[in-house]
Amino acid sequence: MQHHVFIIGSRGLPAKYGGFETFVENLVTRRQREDVVYHVACLDDGSYTQADERGHFSFQGVDCFVVNPARWLGPARVIAYDMMALDHALAMVRRENILKPVFCILGNTIGPLVGGITKRVHDVNGRLFVNPDGLEFKRSKWPKPVRAYLKYAEKCMAKHADVIVSDNEGIQEYMERTYPEVKASQKSIFIAYGTDTAASTLTAGDQKVRSWYAQHDVKEEEYYLIVGRFVPENNYETMIREFMASKTKRDLVIITNYEGNAFFEQLRTATHFDEDPRVKFVGTVYDRDLLTYIRENAFAYLHGHSVGGTNPGLLEALSYTDLNLVLDVAFNHSVARDACMYWKIPHMDDASQTAESSPALADAIEQADELTRVERQTYGAQAKYIIARDYTWEKIVGQYEEIFTYER
């Protein structure tokens, strides 16, 4: 028997964007079982010219189908996209007489509608899986009405989904604590996010390496590094302020898409980072091999994410950078364990900070500056052990395929 899995909620394949898209691409292209058949919804961005008259195309052997909700819908377009994708998938199940399909929805966007969705899925003898992502309702980028909607959507998903898959133990604990029915019905599952572990193929003498370092006036082992989405909840302002307050002589290299972003000007006004030559916004690095080399050769990595589950950037930092200075919140603790140095934001209004003894980041940076290479490598060895044990894509894909193919 073939096990058909319909994935709804990412922007589609190939991955061009963030965490969900990367997750989907790795899940479906690293398939381990031949009896698992994936169907992935793709949001029409004008690039899917290879789609047939039904809107389908193949990506590395995976069935993809293109959905095109009207652009004039604005923010509601995301909801329309998920609902149209679901309609397409259900029609396909009926047309092709697919037995026991699995519908895997990423995120809580269509949460208020999920009661009716679950009924439609059960009508075709299917199961509904939901990955709630992080705590979306806490993200400061959303206005209050949207945050209220997302919180209500989360509640609806918890009530009606057949299985809740959390990619972080902190998220799983939150879901079970906040919605007792999730724990009581034993429909809560933890499966981590995965990450690559292959080292960079580049060497110090390669032209692209020397060009990048020269362009930004940076030297290997002489910079702290930040890589991530350029949003306030990742605590850029705190990290920049604390770095500037430290006495380190090393640089702060920030790899992010800051150009044309109003937040960049807000940060400049708030921190005056442009008056500190150590702080260097260097734009984006889309060359994967080069980015891995930059991670491998950082003195240390700074991680300030305060919202949500297992962040892909943290996994990559643990995989490639020996010393990581990580914001002390429960979600990060559940991933990094004792393989990093933690720092805290004084008076942070977040009960998930776990250790009163964690220093402010400026102090943590000065402590890090005093570590020997062997001490940094000791942290790195522990981090790589955690990644190899818990966060390889091979392990993650195997766990998903096990629950997708579980016979009821």
- The DSSP bridge partners found for residue 103 are 6, 128
What is the pTM (predicted TM-score) of this model?
0.86
**According to the model, what pLDDT value does residue 331 have?**
87
Residue with tokens 């430290």: 246
**According to the model, what pLDDT value does residue 141 have?**
65
**According to the model, what pLDDT value does residue 17 have?**
62
321 sits in the region (left: phi over 0; alpha: psi -120 to 50; else beta) called beta
> What single letter denotes the amino acid at residue 299?
F
**According to the model, what pLDDT value does residue 349 have?**
55
**According to the model, what pLDDT value does residue 351 have?**
43
Q: DSSP characters for 39-64? A: EEEEE--S--TT--TTSEEEETTEEE
**According to the model, what pLDDT value does residue 169 have?**
87
**Token pair listed for 36:** 């698992």
Rounded CA separation 133/165 (Å): 9
**According to the model, what pLDDT value does residue 366 have?**
98
Whether omega before 14 lies within 30 degrees of 0, making that bond cis, reads yes
If 0-12 CB within 10 Å is exposed, 13-18 middle and 19+ buried, where does residue 233 land? Answer: middle
Give me the tens of pLDDT residue by residue for the chain, a chain 408 residues long. 899 999 999 999 998 766 789 899 999 999 999 999 999 999 998 889 999 999 999 999 999 999 999 778 877 888 999 999 999 999 999 999 999 999 999 988 898 899 999 999 999 999 999 998 766 666 666 778 878 888 898 899 999 999 999 998 888 998 999 999 888 888 999 999 999 899 999 999 999 999 999 999 999 999 999 998 898 889 999 999 999 999 999 999 999 999 989 999 999 999 999 999 999 999 999 899 999 999 999 999 999 998 766 788 999 999 999 999 999 998 899 999 999 999 999 866 554 455 557 999 999 999 999 999 999 999 999 999 999 999 999 999 999 999 999 876
Rounded CA separation 170/192 (Å): 11
Q: DSSP characters for 194-260? A: -B--PPP---TT-HHHHHHHHHTT--TTSEEEEES---GGG-HHHHHHHHHHS---SEEEEES--TT
CB under 8 Å to 249, separation ≥6 — which residues?
278
Contact 5, 38 (CB under 8 A): yes
If 0-12 CB within 10 Å is exposed, 13-18 middle and 19+ buried, where does residue 145 land? Answer: exposed
Q: What are the strands, taking DSSP E only, across 10-162? A: 36-43, 56-59, 62-67, 102-106, 127-131
